[in-house]
Structure 1
Amino acid sequence: MYKMSDEEFYQVYGRMPRKNKNKKKKVKVYWGRISIAAVVLIIAIVGIVKIAGAVSGKSKKGKDAKSAVTSSADKKGDDYYAAPENKENDVVYDGIELTVCIDAAHGGFDKGTLGEDDRLEKNDTLKIAEALKEYLESCGVKVIMTRTDDRYISVEERCKIANDNGADLFVSIHRSSSEIEGSDTHGFEAWIHTSKPEADKLFAEKIMARLQDVGISENRGVRAGYPNDNTSNYKINQLTVMPSVLLDMGYLTSSIDNQLLEASLEPYARAIGNAIINGANELGVTDENGARLLEGQLLSNKPAPVEKPTETESAPDESSESDDSSQSEYTDDTEYQYDDYQGYSEPETETDESVLTEDGMGYYTDPMMTE
């Protein structure tokens, strides 16, 4: 076969022939540059992830507590309830010239309401009261406790302790419960006198607001009177001369409320304590430094306490049977054998409505606790 020379190929095709040497061109790989680029890329990715996490966390913490914690069943399993992120911001107080009476509701044979896993209200109320006492005393507040151990004390005696010791505020700690099977009822609330005294309302609202800031399942608000009867009052709001607040710290029958209480007992105590101190300052009882401004005891402008009728008094006539709120607890046929807010009596015979405790003592759980 004839093979054209390069010159002949040029004359025919107008270009020089392409040479095919069948050799692959060797490509030089710059591994050092590739390694540096990989490291830079990894650092950039890590930085982006951290920035995104910080922005997300800041956004979560900045949310209003109400929108973050007022949901119910749809957040039951969230870690938020086991370890709330919102905590009470401590204020440094020292030497507050204020006297507060803390009432740990129930005690002794009166176990209060019963919660999940046989949890007893009387134990929780004492635990909360002691935490609140510790914080208030660390601020220099004088604290009066109605009970410091597991004993029964009548409502009248609790109120007398507060009145006789010149307390500026009476706070009664309770917990609620629901007997409705499968109920998701939960939340914190405060009760004051039906007349809605200015000071009582102020303390109650500040306490609820501070608790909400820490993190509660639901803010059920400040309520006046008595459950299902806004014309009656709890005894602690009737028989005390100073502002008084009955504070329900969640439901024993709610796993959400129980988890919150376990995780935030100290933050709750600080929140309540700071609300009390701030309220006293706003009412002019103390100045911003805690020095006493008010001479004498802080009194509520609610109606004067109603005296307990004596045993020698005649029974009310039939025409007044409908208005038995102040006398039913003193008769043998009382509607409630035991009601921590309205009083206690021990009927001679057991009724179908009584509740027997393990020690055989009969008592009534408050309607509010079983509604």
Structure 2
Amino acid sequence: MDFALSPQAAELRDKVADFIATEIAPVEAEYAESLRKLDDPWVELPVIEELKRKARDAGLWNFFLPPAKADVTGYPGLSNVDYAPLAELMGRYPFAPEVFNCNAPDTGNAEVLVHYGSDEQRERWLKPLLEGKIRSAFCMTEPAVASSDATNMAATAVPDGDEVVINGRKWFSSGIGHPNCAFVIFMGLTDPEAPRHARHSMVIVPRDHPGLRVERMLNVFGYLDPPYGHGEVVFDNVRVPKENVIAGLGRGFEIAQGRLGPGRIHHCMRTIGLAERALEAGLQRATARTAFGKSLADLGGNRERIAKARIAINQARLHVLYTAWLLDTKGAKGALSELSQIKAAVPVMAQEVIDFAIQLHGAAGVTDDFPLASAAAWARALRLADGPDEVHLGVVSRLELAPYREKS
């Protein structure tokens, strides 16, 4: 295996790092404060549009796309191994992924349309999404059922002549709060009598379509995450043309599996960046402050904790790179266990590192004066997003046990 970056990716990494240092980092505090002061935070501040323009003009755009689909997208894209260090850099700042048009859930929705969308769907929805002109949301999780098991899904997408009728309630629909959200991808039950993995469909629904209503925006540990957010969305007899079905009725589960693989590894890539930034903040605090005649770094067991944090981040990064290499060389099926391994391991690692950084900051660490409290909330929430830990650990153990059970 080879984790070395291609010359193209190495150049892009340096350019992204420089762009973040010179354009994004200097405006982070002002941007966050501006959002906090707004009565309605669900807006796109001009600074983001200006940063997006600069990034696109510099060619720092749409890194996440699969290289094999360059003919469909018009963008060369990067391998997963090459994308990893760029995503890690973006993960250090909450709004950086959007600046480079690499923001979730848009990346996952774009991949769905790249791999499964019709020519018409790509022209109407994918093209402006890749141009950064619109945003999108993904509606899968439901409040009334355990959504980690997709077969529990109660919301429906039922064919009726030339239309599909959509009914149900979704929540934690990421991206729905963005003012430029133009469409959602809805996953619903089409045929409860079909084979287990052929019951569901994915359908494109315009954000302003009659019958689609955002009932409320949900906070996560007190954070609303504007301007993206996570909403509870009601679909009340929403009728869309059958042409809005992605790939065909009954293929929702297949598409979901294809979508979630890249989504999970991208989350892990960004989360390593988040952990790195937290450790850096902790080290700055630990060497700049003294108590009881010593620097914080030399008090208690902090030096050992610093070493363990560095080891944990490096282990997680190598684990993610190995999974990225498997995805590039063997596809999603060849990386099935590893995708679940990193999704279970990386957020837990980040939680522990961020918590240590908070402890080094004392009471200040739990305020919004530093980005650690929001980072802790995100890392904890990620242990539920894209499947809870238990589901991923179940996948890993099932695959580990399979050859032994076959022998018995």
| TM bin (shorter chain) | under 0.3
TM-score, with length taken from structure 1: 0.25
TM-score, with length taken from structure 2: 0.23
The structure whose residues are more often helix, as a share, is 2
The structure with higher relative contact order (CA 8 Å, sep 6+) is 1
Structure label with greater radius of gyration = 1
